Homo-oligomer: A and B are copies of this chain.
Amino acid sequence: MKKSIITVSREFGSGGRIIGKMVADRLGIAYYDKEIIAKVAEKTGFAKEFIEKNGEYSPSKSIFAYAVVSRDRAGSSMNDYIYSVQRKIILDIAEKESCVIVGRCADDILSGDDKSLHVFIYADDEAKIKKIMDTHQVSEKEAVKLMKATDKKRSINYNYYTDKQWGRAHNYDLCLNSSELGYEACADIIVNLIKA
């Protein structure tokens, strides 16, 4: 297996970004997360904040709204435009260099790419809540709310654009529970697979 691109899909609070960064640093390759937002903003002319809100958390409507609003109807077109620009940027990055790409349905966008390793990082709720409380300096109640809302948006976005089910093992080459295995062990597994 010769893999040089690692896509990291992750639950909110699972430490997926930290693990992705650890892997990039250890392998000495590029790391793309917020960097993609800047590229999409530059390409589309939209503000970074707008892209951040719409690039990974769109469609931001409720599941019910999605059942009645089809993709080609007005109102979804803006999200679809941002998604298509983001998709092209991810394909260009993967073509150009070895790297870690976090989120943004990169696993699906690069699913036919032989040199990509697709990883899903998740964790037990208790660990995620603690992490969110520490990182965002919020109460337990707020952390639970934030966790549920963020992952709900991510899953709606993922399911909508990929026609797959977020969190299903089959979408990825490997799935790691970071609270059971630890961040270091997760990074070790990924780095060892790439080096093998």
Q: What is A's interface to B at a CB cutoff of 8 Å?
A: 1, 117, 120, 122, 167-170, 172-177, 180-182, 185, 188-189, 192-193, 196
CA distance A168 to B177 in the complex (A): 12
Query: B172, B180, B188, B196: which contacts A173 (Cβ < 8 A)?
Result: B180
CA distance A188 to B192 in the complex (A): 10
Contact B173 A174 (CB under 8 A): no
Closest 9 CB pairs of A and B: A175-B175, A169-B175, A173-B180, A169-B169, A173-B177, A174-B176, A167-B169, A189-B189, A122-B169
* Chain A interface SS verdict (over half): mixed
Residues on B with C-beta less than 8 A from A193 are: 181, 185, 189
CA distance A117 to B122 in the complex (A): 15
Residues on B with C-beta less than 8 A from A188 are: 192
Contact A177 B180 (CB under 8 A): no
25 contacts between A and B (CB under 8 A): A1-B180, A1-B181, A1-B185, A117-B180, A120-B169, A120-B175, A122-B169, A122-B170, A167-B168, A167-B169, A167-B170, A168-B168, A169-B172, A169-B175, A169-B177, A170-B177, A173-B177, A173-B180, A174-B175, A174-B176, A174-B189, A175-B175, A188-B192, A189-B192, A189-B193
